[in-house]
Chain A
Amino acid sequence: MSGELSMWVEIPVAILLVLSSLFALAGAIGLVRLKDYFQRMHPPALASTLGAWCVALASIIYFSALKSGPVLHAWLIPILLSITVPVTTLLLARAALFRKRMAGDDVPAEVSSRRTDQGDSPMP
């Protein structure tokens, strides 16, 4: 530990951390307040995009100043999240559509017609 950090490092780090937690809180408020399931799918993206970016940026600034050299490995978190979160979100959306259609709820019908369904070749 190399003593005190300057104010010019600590102020941005503090702002970024509070900002990120505010975004995460907004996401949770949305998760609790919104009425429909498909509406509730959107707020979690707040924490996994801008929330994660702010924390990663704060971490990079802080550790780079602390060790007086670039410490960039916190960027891996947003990159990892932007690869994994779409996969789960997509699968959850499809699962919800499937289950709601089974239950006979008011959701759009399948976008592909039956005829193209059968003659279609597997992924090229």
Chain B
Amino acid sequence: MKRLFPAPWLSLALWLLWLLLNLSLSAGHLLLGAALGVLAPLLMRPLRPRPIHIRRPWAVLRLFLLVGREVVVSNLAVAWSVMNAGHRPPRSRFIKVPLDLHDANGLAALSMITTVIPGTVWSELALDRSVLLLHVFDLEDEAAFITHFKTTFERPLMEIFE
């Protein structure tokens, strides 16, 4: 079972992707999608450095909703400060965030989250994965931002991946 499905979640996602792309639930597409879901992870296995062990599926869902809310809020904030940029220029700067998360997959997820959210861009990670250079669009209080960043995104990811 483990040999046939090295990544069961990836297989499921690929199967759903195939069905969505074809917009059909006919037997042929169900079979073709299942073949894709089984074969693609097997062929790609040498490329994946480490398998992912997801500890708590509910934490993933909660993080997902949290990121969605954060995206909406910071979208409005960035749009607002772009419109007001004429008489109140945004206080953009680089900050250094100390990291406690060291798992490679967790860091990849963290980089996706920070870059998807408007207003923060992941710029550089130290080679020993201890410090992160982040560019923030409109920063009010550096210490408060770092605390918010660590409690909202880093701690759930540590719960999930470590």
Contact = CB atoms under 8 A, between A and B. Distances in A.
Asked if A and B touch directly (CB within 8 angstroms), the answer is: yes
The main secondary structure of chain B at its interface with chain A is mixed
Interface in B98-146: 104, 111-112, 115-119, 121-128, 131-133, 135, 137
A75 B126 CA distance: 35
Interface residues of B, number: 41
Interface stretch (B32-40, B55-63, B77-85, B153-161): B77-85
B116 A46 contact: no
A50 B124 contact: no
Given A43-B82, A111-B132, 6 more contacts: A41-B121, A42-B92, A42-B119, A49-B116, A50-B72, A89-B121
Interface of B: 17, 20-21, 23, 49-50, 71-72, 75, 78-79, 82-83, 85-86, 89-90, 92, 94, 96, 104, 111-112, 115-119, 121-128, 131-133, 135, 137
Contact of B83 (A26, A48, A71): A26
B102 to A, nearest CB: 10
Contact of A76 (B21, B71, B112, B125): B21
Interface of A: 23, 26-27, 29-30, 33-36, 38-39, 41-43, 45-46, 48-50, 71-73, 75-76, 82-83, 85-86, 89-90, 93-94, 97, 107-108, 110-112, 116-117, 120, 123-124
Contacts of A35: 89
A6 B72 CA distance: 28
Given A23-B75, A46-B118, A94 B20 contact: no
A34 B75 contact: no
A65 to B, nearest CB: 16
Nearest to B115: A86
A91 to B, nearest CB: 11
